[in-house]
């Protein structure tokens, strides 16, 4: 894992001290809210329905046990004992008092963390594949490049006042687990004709009011030229991106209004025009220095099959189910990646208590090579666990309600905080999520349904990624009543697609039975269990599902 050098350390400490002064001036009345608001936003502090919310950056979703324990301490000391992991691999605290935030920032700085660039019109946290460095299908580890992008984009003066916020995601595996095509820039690591690894560059993806799938503007750019190329894109955006209308300011609108070909031409022109002094040249030693932090841990030479694992599977049905659903293959024999679901029945998706965070930190330290990841599905992953240790890990997870066997299934849904917390919301998301979870609470039935992604947002800002859920749910307000618009056929993977709106909105209490009818229809028409929901939808189109959705109960 990357460790701060003296510059990182100094920057984070200075920012925390500066914000302490700003908070003091706000509390003394010297600073009015109008002046303070942009300052607090630059430090990740929002004002939500009930309280201030602090969003803390987790670069590319990676934590150590020490960092996770500190997040737990902050939840217990400064919040109400829990935190919320987000679709951008960050964590949010919902109840932090403004007067305490400077102390929280100091505590974060103690473990090399901060809240800088988690809000505002700047380059946000660069996200990545939560299985990076562990999965067999990856070309190479994308995290060093996320870190390089983080360093380049942090407090970059040219990109501190972009037309709108800007999100970058990087993956190095063909199955896209980082949803790169719905980011402002998505980077896919791949070889060129000579076998040299570089990046395919997608631009203009994004959700919100006008969802778009990113378009490929460059089939391949070398590692050495990556930052210069990104800089060319950012310059075109800074120059031509609209600043007159907040709703048209994202780069996706620019790409779309300019047309992908013309946009690409502008970027290539900017890239070609960069003089040698303008090029962001990465010294080899610096790349090597950063790479070294991501060197694979020392895996033991283990047999492919773990007897302890097999014995427990045969003995314990709960463990066997969890192993089937929540484990992911590791590139090293004898190891697995563990998906810890933060979606048990009746909990806000992505919420974890301080105690649960500490348990996950302990497990990472004891069994997981001190590595913890936040997945954009709002779950936690221990990427490197010995198969022999899985029974012990599972037992501990069960004790703390962290062993729900639903990774990738219908109840492992993504949901934003919605009207229970968010000041911009139209409708609740969490209660809809909990209703759907209750409908599919039977574990056998859920497993029978198979892979299915449900994404829920409480307003058109789409923090819950509803457009790219196989089934998406969007909360809307109709004369003071919550309604829910259903979209079908979205996907966030390598075949990224925006779902189509199925029809008129449903009342809150109608969503659960409507989901049941859609799933029953799927089970009726699929060609066996191996044909997933999204495959059937793509084969048959929306009609049968629309009919089921709106059939009266």
Partner 1 sequence: MSSARPKLKPDTPKAVTAWNTQTGRTVYLTSERRWSEDVLDAAVLTAPQDEEELAFAKGDEQTVTDPYFMQVKAEGGVDGRETLRETIRAQGPTNHPMFGKQAGSP
Q: Which residues bind partner 1 (CB under 8 A)?
A: 26-29, 32-33, 47-52, 77-80, 82, 94-100, 348, 419-421, 423-425, 428, 430-431, 434, 479-480, 482
Contact residue for ligand SF4 among 122, 131, 387, 425 (CB under 6 A): 425
Give which of ligand SF4, partner 1, none residue 301 binds (C-beta under 5 to 8 Å, depending on kind).
none
On the 0-12 / 13-18 / 19+ scale of CB atoms within 10 A, 550 is middle
Give which of partner 1, ligand SF4, none residue 471 binds (C-beta under 5 to 8 Å, depending on kind).
none
Shortest Cβ distance from residue 181 to ligand SF4 (Å)? 19
Q: Taking the CB of residue 373, how many other CB atoms lie within 10 A of it?
A: 28
Our CB check for partner 1 shows the closer of 80 and 190 to be: 80
Give which of partner 1, ligand SF4, none residue 33 binds (C-beta under 5 to 8 Å, depending on kind).
partner 1
Q: Smallest Cα–Cα separation from 169: which of 110, 119, 127, 227?
A: 127
Q: Smallest Cα–Cα separation from 414: which of 427, 402, 432?
A: 432
Shortest Cβ distance from residue 231 to partner 1 (Å)? 32
Give which of ligand SF4, partner 1, none residue 264 binds (C-beta under 5 to 8 Å, depending on kind).
none
Shortest Cβ distance from residue 31 to partner 1 (Å)? 9
- 464 part of the interface to ligand SF4, by CB under 6 A: yes
Q: Smallest Cα–Cα separation from 422: which of 475, 356, 478?
A: 475
Q: Smallest Cα–Cα separation from 310: which of 336, 284, 343, 277?
A: 336
Our CB check for partner 1 shows the closer of 157 and 480 to be: 480
Our CB check for partner 1 shows the closer of 171 and 455 to be: 455
Give which of partner 1, ligand SF4, none residue 420 binds (C-beta under 5 to 8 Å, depending on kind).
partner 1
CA distances from 144 to 130, 312, 436, 511 (A): 14, 37, 38, 43
Q: Taking the CB of residue 7, how many other CB atoms lie within 10 A of it?
A: 10
Our CB check for ligand SF4 shows the closer of 119 and 457 to be: 457
Which residues fall within 8 angstroms of residue 232, CB to CB, at 6 or more apart? 267, 268, 270, 271, 274
Shortest Cβ distance from residue 431 to partner 1 (Å)? 6
Give which of partner 1, ligand SF4, none residue 56 binds (C-beta under 5 to 8 Å, depending on kind).
none
Q: How far, in Å, CA of 133 to CA of 125, rounded?
A: 19
| Cross-strand partners of 128 | 170
- Using the rule CB under 6 A, give the single segment among 105-113, 308-316, 369-377, 461-469 that binds ligand SF4: 461-469
CA distances from 73 to 22, 52, 104, 357, 544 (A): 25, 18, 10, 9, 50
Shortest Cβ distance from residue 15 to ligand SF4 (Å)? 25
| Cross-strand partners of 127 | 169
CA contacts within 13 A on the Cβ side of 256: 16
Our CB check for partner 1 shows the closer of 26 and 470 to be: 26
Our CB check for partner 1 shows the closer of 385 and 425 to be: 425
Shortest Cβ distance from residue 547 to ligand SF4 (Å)? 29
- 462 part of the interface to ligand SF4, by CB under 6 A: yes
Provide the 8-state DSSP code for 214.
-
**Buried (b) or exposed (e) across 358-371, using 16+ Cβ within 10 A?**
bbbbebbbebbbbb
Apex CA 537: angle with CA 417 and CA 510, to 5°? 45
Q: What is the DSSP string of 156-198?
A: -GGGSS-SS-B-EEEE-BSS-SS-GGGSSEEEEEEE-TTS-EE
Our CB check for partner 1 shows the closer of 38 and 259 to be: 38
Shortest Cβ distance from residue 19 to partner 1 (Å)? 15
Q: Sheet of 185-191: strands edge to edge?
A: 127-128, 168-171, 185-191, 197-203, 215-222
- 424 part of the interface to ligand SF4, by CB under 6 A: yes
- 122 part of the interface to ligand SF4, by CB under 6 A: no
- 214 part of the interface to ligand SF4, by CB under 6 A: no
Our CB check for ligand SF4 shows the closer of 384 and 467 to be: 467
Our CB check for partner 1 shows the closer of 81 and 175 to be: 81
Q: What is the DSSP string of 252-308?
A: HHHHHHH-HHHHHHHHHHHHHH--TTTS----HHHHHHHHHHTPPP------SS-HH
- 11 part of the interface to ligand SF4, by CB under 6 A: no
- 41 part of the interface to ligand SF4, by CB under 6 A: no
- 290 part of the interface to ligand SF4, by CB under 6 A: no
Give which of partner 1, ligand SF4, none residue 321 binds (C-beta under 5 to 8 Å, depending on kind).
none
Shortest Cβ distance from residue 91 to partner 1 (Å)? 16
Shortest Cβ distance from residue 85 to partner 1 (Å)? 16
Give which of ligand SF4, partner 1, none residue 348 binds (C-beta under 5 to 8 Å, depending on kind).
partner 1
Which residues fall within 8 angstroms of residue 208, CB to CB, at 6 or more apart? 250, 460, 461, 462
Shortest Cβ distance from residue 516 to partner 1 (Å)? 21
Shortest Cβ distance from residue 371 to ligand SF4 (Å)? 28
Helices (H), 331-479: 354-367, 390-399, 430-439, 443-449
Give which of ligand SF4, partner 1, none residue 123 binds (C-beta under 5 to 8 Å, depending on kind).
none
CA distances from 117 to 6, 39, 58, 323, 511 (A): 20, 11, 11, 37, 36
Give which of ligand SF4, partner 1, none residue 458 binds (C-beta under 5 to 8 Å, depending on kind).
ligand SF4
Cβ-contact 455, 493 below 8 angstroms: no
- 418 part of the interface to ligand SF4, by CB under 6 A: yes
Q: Taking the CB of residue 510, how many other CB atoms lie within 10 A of it?
A: 16
- Using the rule CB under 6 A, give the single segment among 346-354, 394-402, 456-464, 486-494 that binds ligand SF4: 456-464
Give which of partner 1, ligand SF4, none residue 97 binds (C-beta under 5 to 8 Å, depending on kind).
partner 1
Which residues bind to ligand SF4, rule: CB under 6 A? 416-418, 422, 424-425, 457-459, 461-464
């Amino acid at each position: 894992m990357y460790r701060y050098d003296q510059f990182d350390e100094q920057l984070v400490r200075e920012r925390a001290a500066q914000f302490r002064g700003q908070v003091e001036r706000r509390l003394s009345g010297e600073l009015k809210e109008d002046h303070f608001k942009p300052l607090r936003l630059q430090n990740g502090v929002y004002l939500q329905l009930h309280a201030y919310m602090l969003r803390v950056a987790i670069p590319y979703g990676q934590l150590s046990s020490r960092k996770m324990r500190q997040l737990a301490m902050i939840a217990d000391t400064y919040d109400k004992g829990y935190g919320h992991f987000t679709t951008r691999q960050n964590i949010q605290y919902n109840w932090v008092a403004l007067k305490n935030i400077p102390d929280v920032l100091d505590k974060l700085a103690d473990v090399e963390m901060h809240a800088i660039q988690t809000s505002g019109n700047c380059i946000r946290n660069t996200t990545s594949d939560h299985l990076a460095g562990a999965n067999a299908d990856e070309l190479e580890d994308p995290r060093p490049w996320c870190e390089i992008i983080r360093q380049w984009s942090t407090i970059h003066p040219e990109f501190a006042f972009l037309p709108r916020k800007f999100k970058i995601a990087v993956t190095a595996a063909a199955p896209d687990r980082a949803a790169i095509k719905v980011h402002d820039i998505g980077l896919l690591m791949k070889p060129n004709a000579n076998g040299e690894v570089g990046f395919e560059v997608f631009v203009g993806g994004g959700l919100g009011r006008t969802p778009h799938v990113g378009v490929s503007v460059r089939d391949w750019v070398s590692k050495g030229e990556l930052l210069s190329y990104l800089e060319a894109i950012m310059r075109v955006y800074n120059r031509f991106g609209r600043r007159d209308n907040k709703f048209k300011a994202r780069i996706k609108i620019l790409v779309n209004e300019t047309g992908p070909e013309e946009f690409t031409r502008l970027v290539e022109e900017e890239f070609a025009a960069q003089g040698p002094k303008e090029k962001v040249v990465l010294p080899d030693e610096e790349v090597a220095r950063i790479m070294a932090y991501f060197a694979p841990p020392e895996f033991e030479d283990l047999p492919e099959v773990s007897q302890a694992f097999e014995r427990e599977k045969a003995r314990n049905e709960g463990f066997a189910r969890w192993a089937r659903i929540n484990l992911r293959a590791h590139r090293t024999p004898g190891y697995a990646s563990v998906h810890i679901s933060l979606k048990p029945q009746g909990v806000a998706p992505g919420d974890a208590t301080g105690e649960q965070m500490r348990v996950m930190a302990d497990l990472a330290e004891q069994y997981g090579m001190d590595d913890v990841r936040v997945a954009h599905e709002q779950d936690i992953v221990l990427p490197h666990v010995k198969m022999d240790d899985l029974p012990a890990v599972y037992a501990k997870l069960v004790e703390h309600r962290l062993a729900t066997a639903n990774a990738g299934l219908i109840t492992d849904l993504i949901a934003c905080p919605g009207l229970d917390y968010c000041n911009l919301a139209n409708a609740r998301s969490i209660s809809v999520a909990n209703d759907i979870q209750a409908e599919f609470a039977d574990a056998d039935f859920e497993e029978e349904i198979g892979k299915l992604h449900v994404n829920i947002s409480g307003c058109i800002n789409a923090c819950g990624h509803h457009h790219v859920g196989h089934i998406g749910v969007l909360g809307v307000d109709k004369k003071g009543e919550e309604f829910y618009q259903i979209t079908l056929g979205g996907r966030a993977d390598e075949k990224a697609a925006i779902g189509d709106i199925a029809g008129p909105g449903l009342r809150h209490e109608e969503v659960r039975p409507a989901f049941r009818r859609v799933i029953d229809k799927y089970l009726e028409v699929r060609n066996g269990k191996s044909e997933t929901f999204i495959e059937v939808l793509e084969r048959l189109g929306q009609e049968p599902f629309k009919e089921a959705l709106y059939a009266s109960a």
